[in-house]
Amino acid sequence: MLTASRVTASREFQVMAKPAGAVCNLDCSYCYYLDKSALYPSGEALRMTDDLLERYIAEHIEASPKELILFQWHGGEPTILGLDYFRRIVELQRKHRPAGRQILNGIQTNGTLIDDDWCRFLAAEHFQVGISIDGPRALHDCYRVTKGGRPTHKQVMQSWRLLKRYRVPSDVLCVVHRENVRQPTAVYRFFKELGVECLQFLPLVVRQGGSGVSAETVPVEAYGEFLCTIFDEWVRNDIGRIAIQNFDEALRPLLGVEHALCLFKETCGNVVVVEHNGDFYSCDHFVDQEHRVGNILETPLAEILEDPAQRDFGRIKRDGIPRYCRECEVLSSCNGGCPKDRFARTPDGESGLNYLCPGLKKFFIHSRPPLQRIASLMRSGVPVERLMDSLRSEDGEAAARAGRNDPCPCGSGLKYKKCCLDPRKSQLD
């Protein structure tokens, strides 16, 4: 094995490591990564070799500027490599970890291969697990199917229960698509019943042609309604119980804190991808020859992160937003969103608008008043949970004044008689 370069990166970074490349045991119809295997010669083993794995781990540790060193294992499906492969990962991390520094591993999985042995390992090695679930059975199984087209929800639920039984720290990634976006309450309450404590909603946007999108892509306005509906329930009932990354990010500008997610940051480029053969790419959504920034066998990781092309990639996000965005009242909330989704046009015809803009803008404007109250409570050192009591009290007062055909005070957008006045809904709350 070649000696790892002893160079530290000048900024914090994340690497989405894909030691199995695009290999996956599922055939989710909306997956954007399965076809990335076409970048490599047919018949090539899509598996990071032991020597290359060790080189990557050693250089990642050297390049990390903070005491806590984070590894993120993605795919395809990383668990397809088998448990022994991940035992080797931990062994190599221990070999190269400097005294006094801590290593934390995260793994994103479809959950179908998780069993008791996996859970014992994940618990013992303190892995943080992200598991992909798109909601109740019918909504999840729309697109998340096996190579033979069979549903996967039952397997994933078994894996979720195992992770909970073994007390493995786990969060849920829910892809929001054209089917589940129309049932926000059912989706959110499903996750509440599962006991999910950390949740992220990822909007599905698959571009087709110049400005078209796939059939599975989430409708823009519906996505805004989806977030608003869930936010209204969360802010009244679940603050402090369920952490929803979308809402945490919306709160950050109001606290004067930089966004954590790259898609909402002013600039990006510090979340790179390493493929099974050591190739590095600018971003998980830009794995193509144009955005290949090097190979770890040729260039040290820290130098790849400092590559001028990678720096330019990050700055283009900030410099390329249209005037419509620069003048937007919620610019700080999204900073134009992910560059991969900037293929729409502004009302005055300028290119570069985020496809999701109308939905995101609706959500950011809708959520801002309660989030401003949360920010104020946090700055005052007052428990933010008090906001829930306050909002419910305000709802009660508004309900006392509301007529049957008035908009429901809870903010759902439904008529009062079809929402909180409906005894069937009360039984669900």
Residue closest to 106 by CA, chosen among 58, 84, 74: 74
pTM: 0.90
Task: Return d(Cα 201, Cα 246) in angstroms, integer.
Answer: 7
pLDDT tens-digit series, residues 260-289: 999 999 999 999 999 999 999 999 999 999
Average pLDDT estimate for 107-124: 98
The DSSP result for 359-392, as a single string, is HHHHHHHHHHHHHHHHHHHHHHT--TTHHHHHHH
222, 177 in Cβ contact below 8 A? no
Return mean pLDDT, the chain.
Answer: 92
Token pair listed for 317? 């996000």
Indicate which residue of 27, 171, 248, 284 is catalytic.
284
Task: Return d(Cα 69, Cα 62) in angstroms, integer.
Answer: 9
Amino acid type, 62: E
Residue 352 has pLDDT above 50, yes or no: yes
Band of residue 395 on the pLDDT scale cut at 50, 70, 90: confident
Band of residue 410 on the pLDDT scale cut at 50, 70, 90: low
pLDDT tens-digit series, residues 291-339: 999 999 999 999 999 999 999 999 999 999 999 999 999 999 999 999 9
b/e string for 188-217 if b means 16 or more Cβ within 10 A? bbbbbeeebebbbbbbbbbeeeeeebeebb
Average pLDDT estimate for 3-26: 86
The DSSP result for 196-216, as a single string, is --EEEEEE---EETTTEE-TT
Which pLDDT value is given to residue 210?
77
Phi-psi region of 8 (alpha: psi -120 to 50; beta: other; left: phi over 0): beta
Active site residue 35: no
Collapsing DSSP to helix, strand or coil, 55 comes out as: helix
Collapsing DSSP to helix, strand or coil, 424 comes out as: helix
Torsion of CA 180, 157, 363, 401, to 10 degrees: 90
Torsion of CA 121, 123, 124, 125, to 10 degrees: 80
Task: Return d(Cα 144, Cα 423) in angstroms, integer.
Answer: 35
Which pLDDT value is given to residue 429?
34
Taken in order 252, 253, 258, 262, the sign of the CA dihedral is positive
Token pair listed for 18? 């894909």
188, 238 in Cβ contact below 8 A? no
pLDDT tens-digit series, residues 163-222: 999 999 999 999 999 999 999 999 999 999 999 999 999 999 999 987 799 999 999 999
> Which of 127-136, 218-227, 407-416 comes out lowest in average pLDDT?
407-416
Q: What is the DSSP letter of 170?
A: E
User: What is the β-pairing status of strands 292-295 and 279-281?
Assistant: antiparallel
Which pLDDT value is given to residue 3?
44
381, 395 in Cβ contact below 8 A? no
Residue of higher predicted confidence among 412 and 295: 295
Band of residue 404 on the pLDDT scale cut at 50, 70, 90: confident
SS3 sequence of 241-261: CCEEHHHHHHHHHHHCCCCCC
Average pLDDT estimate for 407-416: 62
Residue of higher predicted confidence among 401 and 96: 96
Which pLDDT value is given to residue 150?
97
Percent of the chain with pLDDT over 90: 85
CA 422 to chain centroid, in Å, comes to 35
245, 384 in Cβ contact below 8 A? no
C-alpha angle with apex 153: 152 to 158, nearest 5 degrees? Answer: 105
